[in-house]
Amino acid sequence: MAVVPNYDALVEVQLRPGIADPQGATIEKALPVLGFEGLSGVRTGKAFRLSVAAADESAARAKVEDLCRRFLTNPVIEDSVVTLQAAAAI
Amino acid sequence: MSARIGVVVFPGSNCEYDAVEAVTTLGAEADLIWHGDRSVDRFDAVILPGGFAHGDYLRPGAIARFSPVMEAVEEFARAGGAVVGICNGFQVLTEAHLLPGALQKNRGLTFLCQTVELEVANSDSILTRGVEIGTRLRVPINHFEGNYTCDPATLEELEGNGRIVVRYVDNPNGSVGDIAGISNEAGNVVGLMPHPERAVDPLSGSTDGAVLLRALVESARRVTSRN
């Protein structure tokens, strides 16, 4: 297995559909006050960036998805989306 | 012989001395357990106290559940040992999958620090054994993420099997089913957001928390006398 990180991962964690997001709702309520029109459906979340060392992209994805399931999300209330790209060569 | 109750101290716990003081007042022997310890065998009951374990980074309880002591706590709970999580301790128990569901940010997005009225909904958990269902208790809450949530099937299971231990009379945080505390299936693991340990001394305004903690001390004492 590669020791040098060869993939960059972006993990976006969001509340599952149907789970109330009071933070998003509060932000949305502030929008008209600030003069923003035509914006709706505000949902808040978290993003994590990390570097991954793995044999190939599917191994890298499996590793990061395992991390999401066991640690980065609480599956009772949160989902995650993993985006991978090859690390820029130095 | 007195019941021996251990109170876990994570980095960032802040209610451990209140818990020790409260159960000692009620006749137990209590001691602290550092989160790096790997055994809880010398105790009859374990309390995970309130606070901000590991800074509540990522999510409350998300990192605490990987503290070395938690493996021992899980083993202790699986063997039928009494485990109570109060506030942050409840969050740790859900993250550790010892209790179902999750604690979200309060509806209304405010940190709540007030005394609330609870209604006892089960008289067969380690925290409510012998307490009549419907008993009302005034106990403080002090949390930002206390809004209990779970999927509908879990809620049905909690409701149907008497696993809701205490409910809010006037729901302060949006918890589904007015849930303030729940138990596992066997009733030996209980988590609740309110702080019974802060309502034992008359100086703190209410002594109703003693009703719950006395039941815990009694449950633990029965374990002691069996050994």
Complex ipTM: 0.82
Contact across the interface for A22 and B102, Cβ inside 8 Å: no
Residue of chain A with shortest Cα separation from B101: A76
Cβ contacts of A23 on chain B, cutoff 8 Å: 105, 109
CB atoms within 10 A of CB B154: 16
Ordered per-residue pLDDT tens for chain B, 227 residues: 789 999 999 999 999 999 999 999 999 999 999 999 999 999 999 999 999 999 999 999 999 999 999 999 999 999 999 999 999 999 999 999 999 999 999 988 899 999 999 999 999 999 999 999 999 999 999 999 999 999 999 999 999 999 999 999 999 999 999 999 999 999 999 999 999 999 999 999 999 999 999 999 999 987 666 55
DSSP per-residue letters across B122-142? -SSSTTTTTPPTT-EEEEEEE
Say if residues B32 and B16 touch (Cβ distance below 8 Å): yes
Q: Find the catalytic residue in B35, B54, B87, B95.
A: B87
Name B190's bridge partners: B84, B183
Distance CA A33, CA A29 (A): 8
Contact across the interface for B149 and A74, Cβ inside 8 Å: no
Residues 6 or more apart in contact with residue A61 via CB below 8 angstroms: A82, A84
Cβ contacts of A19 on chain B, cutoff 8 Å: 104, 149
Cβ-based contacts under 8 A for chains A and B: 30
Q: pLDDT at position B200, please?
A: 97
Q: Which of B56, B57, B59 to mutate to test the interface with A (most CBs of A within 10 A)?
A: B59
pTM over 0.90: yes
Residue of chain A with shortest Cα separation from B60: A74
